[in-house]
A = this chain, B = another copy of it.
Amino acid sequence: MKKMIFSLAMLALSASVVAQQQLWGRAEVKSPVVNVDGTVTFNFFAPDAQKVAVSGDFKEIGQETLAMTKNDRGVWSVTTRALNPELYSYSFLVDGHRILDPATTYVNRDVTTLMDIFIVSKDKGDKGYLYKVNEVAHGDVAKVWYDSPTLKMKRRMTIYTPAGYDKGKRYPVLYLLHGAGGDENAWSELGRAAQILDNLIAQGKAQPMLVVMPNGNPNCQAAPGEWSQGMYIPGHGAIKTKPAAEFPESMMDIVNYVDSHYKTIKKREGRAVCGLSMGGGHTFAVGKLFPTKFDYYGLFSAAIHMSGGNGKSTYERLNGDETVKKQLATLFGSSPKLYSIWIGNEDFLFQQNVDYRKFLDEHGYKYEYHENDGGHIWRNWRIYLNEFAQKLFK
C-alpha cells in the first residue's frame, strides 16, 4: 500500500500561518534545564528588563528567590545548587511582575496560583522518579460524574484504574481526599497520584488498585470551571452554602457508585481511605461515620476538627463528645487493618494531631504514627501517599 507522505516542509508550512505564528514561536532560550549534577539553570530572554529573579520552593521549607544576571545577548540566568530529587515549582519576578517561564508549558494550579513545575530525579530509587512519567504500563485516568443522593447533586470525581484493569480481575480501591482549596483535580495534578501509582505498581511495591479522588467540597459539583458556576476565582470562599463536614456523610454515595460501575472488591478489606488536611479530617470523619466500611485509614496533616471549640483543645473536645467517643470505640473495636497518622514536625496542625494521638493512646486504640520534617505542603503529601499506598491490600 502506497504511503501518503506528510513532508516536513508541508508541516512547516502549516505552522507558518499568520494566525498560528505565535503558537510555534520557540522561546529564545531553553528553561528550566535540569543538569546532570542536579543543579537547575533558569533562562529568561529580556534584554530591556532591569531586575530578574526566580522564586521557587527549592529549599525544604518555604520559598527561595535567586537573583538572575544578564549576559550580552539579553538572557538572564541563574543556576541553583544541586537540588534533591523532587517536583519543584517556580515563577520569575521581572521588574516587580510575577511571570510564568515562557520557555515551558508545564504548569500546576494550587488554589488561585499557577506555577511552572519541573522534576529532579537522579535514579529509579528516588522520589523524583516516582513523580515522573516513566516507560512503564500506565493506568487510565477519568473524570467521572456520579450521583450523590446525600448531597442532592451530580458530582465530578477523578478515577485512576491501574494498567491491566481491562483484563478481568477485581481490584481494591483507595479513596484519596484533597484539602481545603483543592478539588477532584488536586491529587492527580499537584499530587502526581497517577504517576506515583503507575511507578509503585510497576516496581511491585504497591498492589494494583483503583484510586478514587472525589471533590471534598460539598457545595461544589466539580472543580472551578468544570461545572455551571462558570470560571470563578478558585478558593473555598468562592462557593459556600454548606459546611465542609457534610462531605464525609456522602462518602458511601461514592463507594456505591464505584462498586456498581467498576470491578472492585466490594468488601471492607478492599477499601482504603486517606486524605490531606481537610481531607485528613474527612478521613477521620469517615472512620467515625462508617466504622466497618474501610480497612485502611491514612490521616495526612489532618485537621482533626471537632464541634464545640470555644478555646478547648482538640483533646478536650474529643473527650467531651460522647457521640464521637462511641463512634471511635466502634471503629477501633472493629480492628481496622491500618489506622495511620502522618504529619510533618513543622505542620501548623501538629498539636491537633498530638492531641488526637494522646486520646487514641489513652484508649489503647492501635495506630501507626509517621512523623517527618517539614510542614503543610504537597511535598509531604506526595511522600505520604507513596508510603501509605505500599501498605495497602497486602
Contact = CB atoms under 8 A, between A and B. Distances in A.
Interface of A: 1-8, 10-11, 13-15, 17-20, 22-27, 30, 46, 48-49, 61-63, 94-100, 102-107, 109-114, 117-119, 132-135, 137-145, 154, 156, 163, 166, 179-181, 222, 224-228, 230-231, 233-236, 240, 243-246, 248-249, 261, 277-278, 281, 285, 288-289, 303, 305-307, 309, 321, 323-324, 348-349, 375-377
Given A11-B180, A49-B97, A140-B143, 14 more contacts: A2-B323, A3-B243, A4-B285, A4-B305, A14-B277, A17-B376, A18-B62, A19-B377, A95-B95, A105-B109, A119-B231, A138-B156, A142-B142, A145-B163
A104 B134 CA distance: 32
A278 B62 CA distance: 46
Contact of A100 (B2, B49, B114): B114
A272 B143 CA distance: 24
Q: Which of A7, A27, A30, A180 has the most CB of B within 10 A?
A: A180
A2 B321 contact: yes
Contact of A118 (B48, B224, B231, B244): B231
Contacts of A119: 230-231
A62 B48 CA distance: 27
Contacts of A135: 228
A149 to B, nearest CB: 16
Contact of A61 (B2, B10, B19, B97): B19
30 contacts: A3-B249, A4-B248, A8-B240, A10-B309, A11-B236, A11-B244, A14-B179, A14-B376, A19-B376, A23-B110, A25-B113, A26-B112, A26-B233, A48-B95, A48-B96, A94-B97, A100-B100, A105-B114, A105-B233, A107-B107, A119-B230, A133-B222, A133-B225, A133-B228, A135-B228, A138-B145, A140-B142, A141-B142, A141-B143, A142-B144
Contact of A46 (B48, B97, B166): B97
Contact of A261 (B25, B30, B166, B226): B166
Contacts of A61: 19
Contact of A134 (B18, B114, B228): B228
The 8 closest A-B CB pairs, nearest first, are: A142-B142, A6-B244, A135-B228, A23-B111, A4-B245, A2-B323, A5-B307, A106-B231
B113 A137 contact: no
Nearest to A32: B231
Q: Which DSSP category, helix, strand, loop or mixed, fits chain A's interface? A: loop
A244 B302 CA distance: 50
A249 B2 CA distance: 11
B245 A6 contact: yes
Contacts of A240: 8
